[in-house]
Chain A
Amino acid sequence: MSALTFTLKIQPRQRVDLSPLTPDNLAGKPAAEIAAIELYSGKQKLRADTVFDIAGDDASNIVIANSCNKLDFIGHGMKTGRISIHGNAGSYLGLQMRNGEIVLHGDADAFAASGLSGGLIHIHGNVGDFLAAAIAGDKQGMKGGTVIVTGNAGERVGDQMRRGLLLVEGNVGSYCASRMLAGTIGVFGAVGEYAGYGMRHGTLLLTQTPALHATIQDCGLHTLPFLSLMFKSFSNLPTKFAKINKNRVQRYAGDLANDGKGEILVLQ
């Protein structure tokens, strides 16, 4: 058995919807059937084998090679298996993913990990705006699972995030953790303005003090024992967050505008 590999062979002008190409969907399908799967791109439906060279047979281990930022909805709703992507990914990477693993060796576009409820998304690169945020109409962004981004992330990281762990090793844009409901976001780098805007619950863990708006208020310097538990839970994750072992933090809480009890913890 070798990894089921889709090597992109065209340069699509319109975004291509890859949601049918998940381990769950492809399990047990003969090659001819996979080749004939239709993928939306603009008004057209393209056969999978006109978009990709397809090789390999292990649908539980999918590789997307030569990938580009027009390939959307990779791993949409996936429940099992693994997808590795070499090159960039489009938007909605791992949308509503329930379990399994996505590893991206490249950058992702907007709304990565939106609605994620389990599993791991590991992005070796940068991501666009609305990482782990809710899509229009939804009340919850990421709902569980783990996301690790080695690079930078855009604006509105974790908007309405409900649960789970989101770790960004680089910098993030403005409105990080906006309307956050719960869960944990960690950012190693710098954070843009209006962090925690509308935050209701949850933890935003930082290493640098950002500019904070007036309804996020200082609660002082503390040694918080729960951080030991948290860092212990990071210890086997492939991220530099695993090496943190401090639990002394400046604690800011809010957003008071929304009766919020979220916290921004800045490691000392």
Chain B
Amino acid sequence: MIINGVTIDNTFAEAFNMRGTRVIITAQNHKWAYNGANAMTGFATSVIGCGVEAGIERELSPTETPDGRPGVTILMFAMGSAVLMKQLETRMGQCILTCPTAAAFSGIDSGYPEITRINLGKNLRFFGDGFQTSKQFGGKRYWRVPVMDGEFITEETTGMVRAVGGGNFLVLAESQPQALAACEAAIEAMRKIPNVIMPFPGGVVRSGSKVGSKYKSMFASTNDAFCPTLKGLTRTELSPGIESVMEIVIDGLTDADIRKATRAGIAAACELGAQNGIKRISAGNYGGKLGPFHFHLREIMNDESLGKKIA
């Protein structure tokens, strides 16, 4: 399959079951909503080192938020519910409780077959040292914690669902600037897709990894098959002329969300086309043995139900 001169490899991305949640952060204005949300989703690129993978999903207008203020939504994913709950609580405490004017609300209340309520502000209330108070509106409980700027408002819980993490595709290009430009285009398109985040810096990761290492203490190491400078030293996956590879990793609330995001991203990258040095789109997998979700690139790009028609 070739789109705009770019070869779509006949391969698939392999993804895993995760637990995901969404939180709505509001504040006096978008600036402070982002300040809180950026802090909360910082250092959350990969579960391997950060516990969770998190990112800002989208911006909300005042009419879309529970308290009628500007806001953003955050998605957060982890391999298990315990770690997700722990990370959510820690990040809420350090990044939202602390952020001037910020408030936090549940982002998932319905629409999924299985929603578990997990603590959002339930334990943060104890920061109130007995002065905290709760209110219930519309069957939801909110906590009011007195703080120096007034009151910190947080919903008691948010919803956690079964989610999918590790969707990905690789952009193989003739040069590093070209690879990055394609990825930027892809991310810009993918950010319009709901229910997904691309947790790496700017949405892009350059250090793809393989399982295992020559060093006993490492359980993963650089994916030498895709490292352009090692073409002559290893069993390379790269065709000649490819000088740079970058990856976009996608976590989503469902596999359909990841498909849509994958299609939008690849389409945008391909729009730059071979004329801009984009040679191939590939994907990372473990031979299909580890993850239950397989995102076959060609299938996704052929499935017009997933997004707009590709030229």
Contacts and interface: CB of A to CB of B under 8 A. Distances in A.
Interface string A182-203: 1010000000000000000101
Interface residues of A, number: 17
B111 interface: no
Contact of B151 (A203, A226, A230): A226
Given A225-B103, A225-B151, A225-B153, A230 B66 contact: no
A180 B246 CA distance: 61
Greatest chain B CB density within 10 A among A182, A225, A228, A261 is at A225
A201 B136 CA distance: 13
A23 to B, nearest CB: 23
Given A225-B67, A228-B68, A233 B138 contact: yes
Nearest to B26: A225
A76 interface: no
A182 B68 contact: no
A152 to B, nearest CB: 26
A229 B134 contact: no
Contacts of A230: 135, 137
B68 A232 contact: yes
A223 interface: yes
A233 B137 CA distance: 6
B150 interface: yes
B67 A203 contact: no
Contacts of B130: 261
A222 interface: yes
Contacts of A182: 134
Contacts of A226: 67, 135, 142, 144, 151, 153
B131 interface: yes
A82 interface: no
B228 to A, nearest CB: 52
Interface string B150-161: 110100000000
A259 to B, nearest CB: 9
Contacts of A224: 144, 150-151
Nearest to B152: A225
Contact of A225 (B69, B131, B133, B138): B69
A163 interface: yes
Contact of B135 (A203, A222, A223): A203
Given A225-B67, A225-B153, 4 more contacts: A203-B135, A225-B69, A228-B67, A229-B66
20 contacts: A184-B135, A222-B150, A224-B144, A224-B150, A225-B67, A225-B69, A225-B150, A225-B151, A226-B67, A226-B144, A228-B69, A229-B135, A229-B142, A230-B135, A232-B66, A232-B67, A232-B137, A233-B138, A261-B130, A263-B133
